[in-house]
Amino acid sequence: MYSKKAIVSGEVGLYGRAATAFIQLANTFKSTIFVEIADKKANAKSLLGVLSLAIPSNAEISVTAEGVDEVESVNKIIDFVTSGCVLREDSDDVVEGSIDPKKS
């Protein structure tokens, strides 16, 4: 099991398209992944679960994974939320529909 904390950056937090891109990224990994804020926890691969957490910008979250790619999955998800909830152009991850909320 591997876990890491981070502050969610970006203008809107994990809502709408950012939440969709978040779960699409989580679904590229084999590990079981959870995201937690305060005392609430949800499956990071579930859009409804992530949305139910109502994660705002500047909130501290914890991402925990267990499985064959747990370290990579947590690190990439943490990178996603700390980079404004967008995938960087130089990323190997392909997530259809991910956008930069600053450009929408």
Per-residue pLDDT tens digits for 46-93: 999 999 999 999 999 999 999 999 999 999 999 999 998 765 544 454
Residue 12 structure tokens: 């809107």
Question: pTM, whole model, 2 decimals?
Answer: 0.82
**Dihedrals φ, ψ of 24, to 5°?**
-65, -40
Q: Does residue 104 surpass a pLDDT of 80?
A: no
Which of 63, 56, 46, 54 is CA-nearest to residue 5?
Answer: 63
Q: Report pLDDT for 96.
A: 40
| Phi–psi pair at 44, nearest 5 degrees | -70, -10
pLDDT band at 11 (very low <50, low <70, confident <90, very high): confident
Q: Which fold has domain 2-88?
A: Histidine-containing Protein; Chain: A; (3.30.1340)
